């Protein structure tokens, strides 16, 4: 019997695929495989029994890849399986950065007992006026599964979209519709875009890439979205850029305490892939990968 340990729960749509030749273990000790979402494995001791890790999601920065490589543990992720869920939240993020939706909702809650709320709202609403995204320039940094979907959706909403990715695949280049401009480096995005959204993995080479040097090249009042990973942004430089108005809005999916109270920051608790559909897609893909590897030795990760 093969033993699988779930470090944090993944959707039943995936778990129910395990037949009675599998047991769900209470601990990692002696497990053949681990399934997890965003919980970190960095502090865990990897048992000699462990053959595979299935990450139900795209990012693998929560897994000690070097130790896994040394021990011959195969690490799977589920690229693309939650891309639509993340894309939809990024599009919502564009709206949040443009219209004071959060402020408006808060105002109504605060004034709910005012019998003349409709009249008062007429006066108050000026303070919540925003701008439209149609016709604005959006820079998409990273054109993988999520970046491509975001670029196409924003273009359909009337934005002028610029994209950059040093590793752009031919398949993804083809998926980009003809009205998206591919630029040669991020600087070309920094110096002309009104909105910038980042969709690159967390690597040593991408850590802190949105920093003072990058902000200095951007337009005054630029709006930045980060639904990728918090370490891509240099917090101290972002705080300065928000305080000076260089960056007017920072919408991020990472509840980093250093960012939460910054003026202009809108912070979500890592909800990008938190839809029923994305959770199911990721869980099914991760469980299929693990079963195919444990039973047939197949390594499929596309
Ligand atoms: C991802 O890397 O795909 C997301 O962080 C998924 C998640 O929320 O688990």
- In the reported structure, the alpha carbon of residue 295 is separated from the centroid of ligand 1 by a whole-number distance in angstroms of 26
The answer to whether residue 45 scores a pLDDT higher than 80 is yes
pTM strictly above 0.80: yes
Question: What is the reported pLDDT for 181?
Answer: 94
* Residue among 150, 124, 128 nearest 139 (CA): 150
Q: What is the pLDDT of residues 144-176, one digit of tens each?
A: 999 999 999 999 999 999 999 999 888 888 888
How many C-beta atoms lie closer than 10 Å to residue 99's C-beta?
Answer: 16
Q: Where exactly are the structural domains of the chain? A: 2-79+276-296, 83-267
Q: What is the pLDDT of residues 234-265, one digit of tens each?
A: 999 999 999 999 999 999 999 989 889 998 99
- In the reported structure, the alpha carbon of residue 15 is separated from the centroid of ligand 1 by a whole-number distance in angstroms of 18
Distances (CA, A) of 71 to 19, 39, 106, 121, 301: 27, 21, 52, 63, 20
- In the reported structure, the alpha carbon of residue 85 is separated from the centroid of ligand 1 by a whole-number distance in angstroms of 10
User: What does CATH list as the number for 83-267?
Assistant: 3.40.50.720
d(CA 258, CA 238): 10
Is 2's C-beta closer than 6 angstroms to any atom of ligand 1?
Answer: no
Is 58's C-beta closer than 6 angstroms to any atom of ligand 1?
Answer: yes
Helix (H) or strand (E) holding 36: strand 33-36
- What percentage of the chain carries pLDDT values higher than 70? 100
What number of CA atoms fall less than 13 Å from residue 114's CA on the CB side?
12
Is 270's C-beta closer than 6 angstroms to any atom of ligand 1?
Answer: yes
- In the reported structure, the alpha carbon of residue 58 is separated from the centroid of ligand 1 by a whole-number distance in angstroms of 6
Q: Is-contact 39 7, C-beta < 8 A?
A: yes
* Residue among 104, 96, 102 nearest 120 (CA): 104
- Token pair for 269: 């608790």
Q: Is-contact 176 148, C-beta < 8 A?
A: yes
- In the reported structure, the alpha carbon of residue 165 is separated from the centroid of ligand 1 by a whole-number distance in angstroms of 20
Per the listing, tokens 């990760």 go with: 301
Q: What is the pLDDT of residues 9-33, one digit of tens each?
A: 899 999 999 999 999 999 999 999 9
The interface pTM score, or ipTM, of the predicted complex is: 0.92
Nearest atom in ligand 1 to the alpha carbon of residue 56 is 9
Q: What is the pLDDT of residues 191-223, one digit of tens each?
A: 999 999 999 999 999 999 999 999 999 999 999
Is 175's C-beta closer than 6 angstroms to any atom of ligand 1?
Answer: no
- Domain 2-79+276-296 belongs to what architecture? 3-Layer(aba) Sandwich (3.40)
Within the chain, residue ranges assigned H as helices are 12-15, 65-71, 83-98, 101-110, 117-124, 145-156, 170-175, 186-190, 212-217, 235-244, 257-260, 276-296
Is 275's C-beta closer than 6 angstroms to any atom of ligand 1?
Answer: no
Residue with more model confidence, 280 or 173: 280
* Residue among 128, 95, 139, 149 nearest 266 (CA): 95
Distances (CA, A) of 184 to 67, 69, 151: 35, 33, 16
Question: What is the reported pLDDT for 302?
Answer: 63
Mean pLDDT of the chain: 95
Is 197's C-beta closer than 6 angstroms to any atom of ligand 1?
Answer: no
Question: What is the reported pLDDT for 20?
Answer: 95
Confidence band, pLDDT 50/70/90 cuts, at residue 61: very high
Q: What is the pLDDT of residues 175-198, one digit of tens each?
A: 887 779 999 999 999 999 999 999
> In DSSP terms, which residues pair with 36 in a beta bridge?
55
- Token pair for 140: 């998409």
């Amino acid at each position: 019997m093969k033993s699988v340990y779930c470090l944090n729960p993944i959707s039943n749509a995936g778990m129910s695929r395990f037949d009675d030749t599998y047991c769900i273990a209470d601990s990692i000790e002696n497990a053949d495989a681990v399934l997890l979402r965003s919980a970190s494995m960095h502090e865990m001791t990897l048992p000699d029994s462990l053959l595979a890790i299935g990450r139900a999601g795209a990012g693998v920065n929560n897994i000690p890849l070097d130790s896994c490589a040394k021990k011959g543990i195969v690490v799977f992720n589920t690229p693309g399986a939650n891309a639509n869920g993340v894309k939809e939240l990024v599009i919502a993020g564009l709206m949040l950065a443009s219209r004071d939706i959060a402020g408006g909702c808060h105002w109504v809650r605060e004034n709910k007992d005012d019998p003349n709320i409709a009249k008062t709202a007429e006066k108050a609403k000026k303070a919540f006026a925003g701008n439209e995204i149609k016709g604005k320039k959006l820079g998409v940094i990273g054109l993988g599964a999520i970046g491509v979907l975001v670029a196409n959706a924003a273009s359909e909403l009337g934005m002028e979209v610029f994209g950059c990715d040093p590793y752009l695949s031919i398949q993804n280049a083809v998926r980009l519709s003809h009205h998206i401009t591919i630029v040669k480096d991020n600087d070309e995005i920094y110096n002309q875009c009104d909105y910038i959204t980042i969709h690159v993995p967390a690597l040593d080479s991408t850590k802190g890439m949105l920093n003072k040097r990058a902000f200095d090249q951007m337009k005054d009042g630029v709006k930045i979205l980060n639904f990728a990973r918090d370490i891509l942004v240099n917090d101290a430089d972002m705080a300065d850029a928000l305080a000076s108005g260089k960056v007017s809005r920072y919408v991020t999916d990472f509840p980093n305490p250093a960012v939460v109270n910054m003026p202009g920051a809108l912070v979500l608790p890592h909800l990008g892939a938190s839809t029923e559909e994305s959770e199911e897609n990721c869980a099914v893909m991760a469980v299929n990968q693990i079963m195919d590897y444990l039973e047939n030795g197949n390594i499929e990760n596309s």
